[in-house]
Amino acid sequence: MNRLKKVILAFTCILAINSSLMAASDTERAALVALYNSTDGDNWIENTNWMLDDPCINSWHGVSCDDSGNVTRLVFYKNNLNGSLPPEIGDLVHLTMLHMYTCNLRGSIPSEIGNLTSLEHLLFFGNSLTGTIPPELGNLINLGYLHLSYNYLSGSIPTEFGNLTNLTGLYLFVNNLSGTIPSEIGNLVRLIGFNVGGNNLSGTIPPELGNLAVIQELALDENQFVGTIPVEIGSLLTIETLKLDRNNFTGTIPSSIGDLINLIKLYLNNNYFSGEIPSSITQLEQLGEDEFKLNNNCELYSNDEDVRVFMKSKSGSTYEEFLQTQAHCQAVPEAKNFNPSVITYLLN
């Protein structure tokens, strides 16, 4: 009898919990149905409970709701969302997390995503998205993490990104982006990671990037940037990874680079730097083995034996071997149209 009472009590508790769950609004359910239909939901790898009565009560796969029946999270990974994002996704105004990575998405990013002002995480990396980045993403003032890498996005980085002052991570690498880095990126003082490697970006490094006081990763590699390294880069005292390789940078390496004593990776190779390597470089004792790259520049040299010994210890090459990689450059070639492949980027 006691066992029967326990079973009845447990069943009653389950009913009470289920009855306390609130159903999603008609608007949010309709937005999810639009997503299902526009991305061939019948052929998703995982679509458990989708199209049953209610997304919240019936626990549609990838959908999370709060106690009030608001859809707060939409998370898919490798789920074969074969199609494009519908504009109705902008009706999910209570979303704090929107993750659709490596899902085979195509088409453009709807501007209506700019309506999702509660978003804290937006991840669309590893898809086949095209078109430009909508400037309306600059409305997402609560966003802490934005990852749009490994797509085919074109156009420029929106200046409106300067409004996203809560961002800690901004990742746009391996796309077809062009234009310059907006100086407004310097407003993102909470930024820890900023990676735009493997694009067609050009122009100079904005000195405003020196405002990124807590940055740990700054990757501008494999683009068409020109000019010198601004002295303001020496203000990034928390930085651990600095990748400027495979661009068209010129001038000397500033001595202030030696102030970045937390650096673990420093890639300056395949540019047009020239002149004497500053002796302050020996202060970068945290550099990892083979994580210090200066090869393939224009007549870089050092007369300081301590620098030469340091270079060998961190790069694995003797100073003489390093000199053999230096070219006698008469002029920096004009920037070429360049469409980097994912494979090239990953291998380097």
Burial (Cβ within 10 Å: 0-12, 13-18, ≥19) of residue 107: middle
DSSP β-bridge partners for residue 171: 147, 195
Q: What is the DSSP code (8-state) at residue 165?
A: T
pTM of structure: 0.89
- What is the number of domains present in the chain? 1
pLDDT given for residue 3 in this prediction: 57
Whether 239 maps to a domain, the answer reads yes
pLDDT given for residue 20 in this prediction: 57
The predicted model gives 307-335 an average pLDDT of 81
pLDDT given for residue 336 in this prediction: 42
- C-beta of residue 104 within 8 angstroms of C-beta of residue 126: no
pLDDT surpassing 70 at residue 103: yes
Per-residue three-class SS string for 273-333: ECEECCHHHHHCCCCCCCCEECCCCECEECCCHHHHHHHHHHHCCCHHHHHCCCECCCCCC
Query: CA–CA separation, 100 vs 78, rounded Å?
Result: 8
Paired tokens of 241 = 């990874």
Query: Where residue 257 sits, what CATH number does that domain have?
Result: 3.80.10.10
Whether 11 maps to a domain, the answer reads no
Q: How many residues does the chain have?
A: 348
Helical spans, DSSP H, in the chain: 2-20, 26-38, 305-315, 319-323, 342-347
Whether 12 maps to a domain, the answer reads no
Paired tokens of 306 = 């301590």
Whether 186 maps to a domain, the answer reads yes
pLDDT in tens, 199-254: 999 999 999 999 999 999 999 999 999 999 999 999 999 999 999 999 999 999 99
Whether 1 maps to a domain, the answer reads no
Residue with tokens 């996203």: 164
What b/e string do you get for 293-316 counting C-beta neighbours within 10 Å, with b at 16 or more?
Answer: bbbbbbebebebeebbebbeebbe
pLDDT in tens, 146-172: 999 999 999 999 999 999 999 999 999
pLDDT given for residue 197 in this prediction: 98
Whether 2 maps to a domain, the answer reads no
Paired tokens of 118 = 């509660």
The predicted model gives 325-336 an average pLDDT of 63
Whether 7 maps to a domain, the answer reads no
| Domain range for 71 | 21-347
